[in-house]
A and B are shown apart, each in its own frame.
Chain A
Amino acid sequence: MVAALRNRLREAFVRWALRVRLPEPAPIVLTQRRVYVLPTRAGLAYAAALGVILLGAMNYNLSLGHALVFLLGGLGIVAILHTFRNLALVAIRPGRCEPVFSGSLARFDLVLDNQRPDARTSLRLFTGDEAPLEIDIAPHASTVTSVKVLAKKRGWLPMPRLTIETTWPLGLVRAWSYAVPDLNCLVYPAPAAKAPPLPWSGESARGSARDGRGADDFSGLRSHQVADPPRHIAWKAVARQDGPLLTKLFSGAAAQQLWLDWGALSDAIDAEQRLSILARWMIDADAAGLAWGLRLPAVQLAPDNGPAQLSAGLRALALHNHGAQ
């Protein structure tokens, strides 16, 4: 109940704090208007201790006790200024962001600039409830840091709201700010753990006479699946490297074409699962050095091989039915 109310209040505050147009143009400079300062729990304890010391000094008429309280009070104010200074005017620039598979951690690279002649110490960056990253920035320098966020869904993953805070130097006050850098991570569908074998197209448009899964010429390896015949297991490869079982693939025709077709998969399989299977096929085919083409309801890729083909294919899967390409 209280926690819920606190969350609501915090969200309202963040909405107010981030009233700029989102996403923000780079570089995001944490100007003094967007750096907030409040005492930490230790700071509240410090203030309470000062109050008690003041009472004692008054009660016993201790002039030096008054001086002590006032000195420590001044120290508290100075701590606010130092903490504020430690964070204010840090500039955040978005960096690179490599695509990832759904279910793994997306890494958003950020470049933090310090234009001041003294170091920034113990800045903590975090998004949501993730454990904070702690960084320092040297005087007149930049630091690259990557914020990791779990990619839960395929498609574009915008960088979540970043909180950057510091309690340096005394830990009595916390200065913090919010930023939403303009960074998006492309999230591919997770490759299916279990997929049917590669769909060598018996019904392919070219009407090839040979079965794609022929056993004549060795064409590559892929990870073993339960349905594969035991005699196709690449025992030598297993013996060489202590890894998962691999299945030897054989092809009958050198110029065999492989079409990864959305339509070829049974309608009984749900759409996300179908994308996962397609992703698995692409990876396997790419690993085997095969050329492959992709047919999705809205996109078609001509058969090709290589990393460009793989990333184009995975991107098409990621953005399937997402409108924006």
Chain B
Amino acid sequence: MARSNRPVSRRQAWWLLTTALTTCLPLAPQLPPWLSLAAGAAFIWRAALTWRQWHLPPRWLLILLVMAGTVGVFLQYRTILGRTPGVALLVVFLALKLLELRAARDAVATALLCYFLVLGQFLFTQTIPTALLACLTVLITTATLLAASDDRPQPQQQLRRAALMLAQALPFMLLLFVLFPRVQGPLWGIPQDRFSAVSGLSDTMSPGSIAQLSQSDAIAFRVKFKDAVPPQSQLYWRGPVMPSFDGRSWRVAQTQGAYAEVPYPEIGSPVDYQVTLEPHGKFWLFALELPGTLPPESALTFDYQPIARQAVRTRTRYTQRAWPEAMAGANEAPGILRQALALPTDGNPRMRAISTAWRTQHAGNGEAILTAAQDFFSRQLLIYTLNPPLLGADMVDEFLFDSKRGFCEHFAAAFVFSLRAAGVPARVVAGYQGGEINPVDGYLVVRQYDAHAWAEAWIAGRGWIRIDPTAISAPSRINSNFATAAPAGAGLPFLARSDLAWLRELRHRLDAVTNGWNQWVLGYNPQRQRDLLSSLGLNEPDWRSMTAVLSVLCGGVMLGLTGWILRNRLRVDPALAAWRRFTARLARHGAAWRAWEGPLAFAERAARLTPTHAKSIHEIAALYARLRYEAAPQANDLAQLKAKVAAFKP
């Protein structure tokens, strides 16, 4: 069309510049600084061009700049594929496209690029503020698209029209969002970079690694219990199990296989719950001890930790059942027990001496040694603190006998060491303990500062038994929560402080909103879609039935909108309608009414052509002329006209 070749007007250029700026600003933190600066310079250049009405830069210069930008992105990331480099490239293109606005077609291309970059924002964050910002960007971009086709209206008019059109698009969006058959990504392998460093547990534990996490109030996962919430002291969320010890750090075992099903018998009463796990980039899934079922696409390691087949890079939801009273590992494999006894040959001589004493005293009776160790720990009067002193080479000895101050990893490590030295198989379990119920939506929220480490000992005939050495010295850590256990003024994360009641209340509300957003908007995946549609009575929904329902509903909305669009078509003046019926009848008899003819002149001519009806033709024309042109026509003129036209049958 000739229209798309029209040059871009000044006003359109301003619109495009505003849109590009709104689109790129939220992306700036994700981009390398040089790119943000370069894009800013391009925007300023564009503004100057528009302001001063200078000529656009020559095409060869733009091609050079595009090449330079691409090379820059490549040098920055060593690739141009993937999330961040892709977004960076799009920003380069957008900034330079602004300098190349020759025709209306370029304006449309720019607007499409902006829509694209809104998706780019979602690659980095999908919070409620991001969504609101994206709404604003889409609004402005749509107004720009409007201005690209007609730039005469004022900006606020364009924005109002864009808002109206987007509001009309909302029903379609809601229907499609709920009913469009969802596919679980990824469709291809690129999203490796979807996840970058996020705080969380790691697969090694050394002194201070968990204490570091206690500074973060980021959410690790949320739990919805089917029935009553178990007591706080039972909420041990099992994470990485660390049997191997090198004298300083504890490490996850390099296992070769995993159980496909839970290997221990079900005892006691189960606890059912659903976990919504925030992405952490590792394979493990957290479960209440002991896990009774396995989520799909997961397995159980030989030390009873559920792990997913793929690293958790997106928010993941799974249903679980726990058996709090189950006993695991009654017939444990010798290799695993051997690993749970391994110690470095030297180091920590004081603890070793005590443990050796236990061993001889209790003749290798595991249960008795365990009791002795617990007694020993409580006698030592250890202090639970967020800021333990730094420890030297013999960490266990220094902690137990000298500083006596430590965080949960010190307790767990020292306890496991003491048992191993006494010949009782033991290992460190990392994970989370406790959590906080949000009274607004009833979800249990587990944050990073709930990270914890405890010990597990193997007793012949009973299997693995959980012992939390921290609870021996600081029972409040386990029975209430982390914040009450930690001494006041210990530099707690803001949200862990319990002294500001109104703040906690506000936080609970905000978190409930965020959780609802995560559960229902961001977490609306194929599984949730199936559940929702089943609960709406659409049994076993497959893509066919979903498409059918979707088409019917969208068709309904279309009809509604179309009705609105053509709503005022029948508002034709009744006198004119009657006159049209009359002239249409006459037209069939060779006397067609010409638009420029007055009614009386037409009657004159029509009467000559069809003399037999001359009288009624004149009457009708006179009535119509009165209705049309007289200031105050008589009340029954219209009824008379209608009657006469109805009776007129030439």
Contact = CB atoms under 8 A, between A and B. Distances in A.
Given A60-B186, A171-B145, A74 B170 contact: yes
A60 B148 CA distance: 32
A59 B595 contact: no
Interface in B155-169: 161, 165-166, 168-169
Contacts of B126: 62-64
A64 B566 contact: no
Interface string B161-196: 100011011111100110010111111101100100
B569 A89 contact: yes
Contacts of B109: 45
Q: Which of A46, A68, A96, A132 has the most CB of B within 10 A?
A: A68
A298 to B, nearest CB: 26
A168 B150 contact: yes
B632 interface: no
B595 A64 contact: no
A38 interface: no
A146 interface: no
B561 A122 contact: no
B595 A70 contact: no
A42 B186 CA distance: 29
B169 A171 contact: no
A85 B554 CA distance: 19
B55 interface: no
Given A63-B524, A71-B166, A49 B112 contact: yes
Contacts of A94: 595
Contact of B112 (A41, A46, A66): A46
A42 B566 contact: no
Interface stretch (B114-122, B224-232, B245-253, B610-618): B114-122
B150 A64 contact: no
B185 A59 contact: yes
Contacts of B123: 60, 62
Nearest to A76: B169
Contacts of B145: 170-172
A42 B112 CA distance: 10
Contact of B191 (A60, A70, A89, A95): A60
Which of B83, B184, B566 has the most chain A CB within a 10 Å cutoff?
A: B566
Contacts of A301: none
A149 interface: no
Interface in B601-634: none
Contacts of B305: none
Interface residues on B, range: 35 or more
Contacts of B558: 77, 81
Given A68-B134, A121-B150, A73 B172 contact: yes
B565 interface: yes
Interface string A48-65: 010011011111111111
Choose among A46, A57, A79, A171 the residue with the greatest number of B CB atoms under 10 Å from its CB: A171
Contacts of B122: 57, 60, 62, 64-65, 68
B587 interface: yes
A32 interface: yes
A53 B149 contact: no
Contacts of A171: 3, 104, 108, 145, 148-149
A96 B566 contact: no
B571 A115 contact: yes
B569 A71 contact: no
Contacts, number: 178
Interface in B106-157: 108-109, 112, 115-116, 118-119, 122-123, 126, 130-131, 134, 138, 142, 145-146, 148-150
Nearest to B558: A77
B1 interface: yes
Interface string B291-315: 0000000000000000000000010
Given A75-B166, A84-B565, A115-B571, A49 B115 contact: yes
B54 interface: no
B308 to A, nearest CB: 14
B535 interface: no
A167 interface: yes
Contacts of B4: 41-42
Contacts of A122: 149-150
B525 interface: yes
A94 B112 CA distance: 41
Contact of A93 (B118, B191, B595): B595
Across the A-B interface, give the 9 residue pairs with the lowest CB-CB distance, nearest first.
A74-B172, A74-B169, A171-B149, A70-B176, A70-B173, A85-B565, A71-B173, A75-B169, A61-B185
Interface of B: 1-4, 83, 104-105, 108-109, 112, 115-116, 118-119, 122-123, 126, 130-131, 134, 138, 142, 145-146, 148-150, 161, 165-166, 168-173, 176-177, 180, 182-188, 190-191, 194, 314, 521-525, 554, 558, 561-562, 565-566, 568-569, 571-572, 584, 587, 592-596
21 contacts: A25-B592, A41-B1, A42-B4, A45-B112, A52-B116, A58-B185, A60-B186, A61-B184, A62-B119, A62-B126, A64-B134, A68-B119, A68-B122, A68-B134, A74-B170, A78-B168, A88-B565, A115-B571, A167-B3, A169-B146, A171-B104
